[in-house]
Amino acid sequence: METGITNFTRPVEASAVMELLPTRPRVLALGEPTHGEDTLLGLRNRLFRQLVEEQGYRTIALESDCLRALIVDAYVTSGEGSLDDVTEHGFSHGWGGSRANRELLRWMREFNADRPTADQVRFAGMDGPLEITGAESPRQALTGLHDYLTAHVDAELLPCTADRLDELLGTDASWTNQEAMMDPSQSVGRTPEARELRLLADDMVTLLETQAPHLAAASAPSDRDRAHLYGRTAVGLLRYHSWMADTAPSRMARLLAARDEMMAGNLLALAARGPVLVHAHNSHLQRDKSAMRMWGHPKVEWWSAGALVSTRLGDQYAHLATALGTMKHHGVEAPPADTVEGILHALPEPHCVLDAARLGAAARDIPAVPRVSPYFGYAPLDPAHLPRIDAVLYVRDVPHD
């Protein structure tokens, strides 16, 4: 099928991506339609290396726990720990088992080995300490923030002691009870202790802000950045746990929105430090509303982290959405010709980058319909989203790794 896009494909290279964008974005969001495929992660690694070497990018953020990612960042910047330990403990969602993720960390460590701190590449997690089955205890975030403030501000300014914080937190098992995701009555998110912790978290974050001039003089920028990360995470986790205890029909929408708000906060903080490549599912990076069905719930909609960050950054945010043709080990065969992926599948290249506007025009000419996925873990591109995507990376075939 002739679609008029054959002459507008570009190689998967950083320079080609930048030519499609109005400016070098502070957040370049590389979205994937499925998780855990090393073919896609390998292209991500290659693109990140080029962004570092040719475009001045110095940070990559993955859809992984922002606090665990501190372990990974310590490894790639200073060699702290072993690669095996770091991949086991520094990732959430099982991402540490990926061969491509291990290769990414090896390259980052080698790149940083003889470089000054200011020129090193950094690793970050964009996600909160969350899983689809529940959330972590806020202990690490709250105690980390409290420890920082204790070391740098007068004791009488602190809203509580470390002992009081520990007393209110109780056991971590009460926070991580996975039954709470399906049964709100088992959540501790709205107990009197949790409500007091939310107030204390707010007071400590406020103290962090009101003491900013003193803290800037008394502590290193990296320590302040970490304290702000602890503050964002503590507030976000306590909010998430509160919504886990809710029984209203809007509960799941609130939880999904709260998660992406945490992601957005992390991305904005990273963007303030310099340009960042973020790699996550398209549903977390798109400008359109995200939607999903799960556990028998009606369709749930929420604004993604990408939509939130794009609203704040304008053209300093760019979404490079990945689409794929086949993934036969998951039953995803060649796409129908009247889908976005079908248009792309007619191209001769095994993978390429295209301007989303030109692809959108070709899709309207057909007109294209949404592709139906036979595999729950793969989300095809919606043709209606193309006007709000900057570029598309197409991968013709994703083999079994």
**What is the per-residue pLDDT across 210-243, written as a single tens digit (0 to 9) for each?**
999 999 999 999 999 999 999 999 999 999 999 9
d(CA 36, CA 94): 9
d(CA 149, CA 228): 11
**Quick one: which of 271, 194, 264, 204 has its CA closest to 231?**
204
Query: The tokens 């340009």 sit on which residue?
Result: 275
Mean pLDDT of 82-102: 95
What b/e string do you get for 51-86 counting C-beta neighbours within 10 Å, with b at 16 or more? bbeebebbbbbbbbbbbbbbbbbebbbeeebeeeeb
d(CA 126, CA 321): 17
Render pLDDT for 327-370 as a digit per residue (tens, 0 to 9): 999 999 999 999 999 999 999 999 999 999 999 999 999 999 99
**Quick one: which of 340, 364, 295, 329 has its CA closest to 37?**
329
Is the CATH number of domain 6-132+263-397 2.40.128.30? Answer: no
Determine how β-strand 134-135 pairs with β-strand 276-281. Answer: unpaired
Determine how β-strand 122-127 pairs with β-strand 59-65. Answer: parallel
Render pLDDT for 244-296 as a digit per residue (tens, 0 to 9): 999 999 999 999 999 999 999 999 999 999 999 999 999 999 999 999 876 66
Determine the pLDDT at residue 382: 97
Gyration radius of the chain over CA positions:
22
Residue 138 region by backbone torsions, left for phi larger than 0, else alpha for psi between -120 and 50, else beta: alpha
d(CA 363, CA 366): 6
Provide the H-helix boundaries in 184-304: 192-210, 212-218, 221-244, 251-273, 282-285
Q: Which amino acid is at 376?
A: F
Non-local CB neighbours of 333 within 8 Å, separated by 6+ positions: 326, 374
> Is the whole-model pTM more than 0.85?
yes
d(CA 247, CA 49): 46
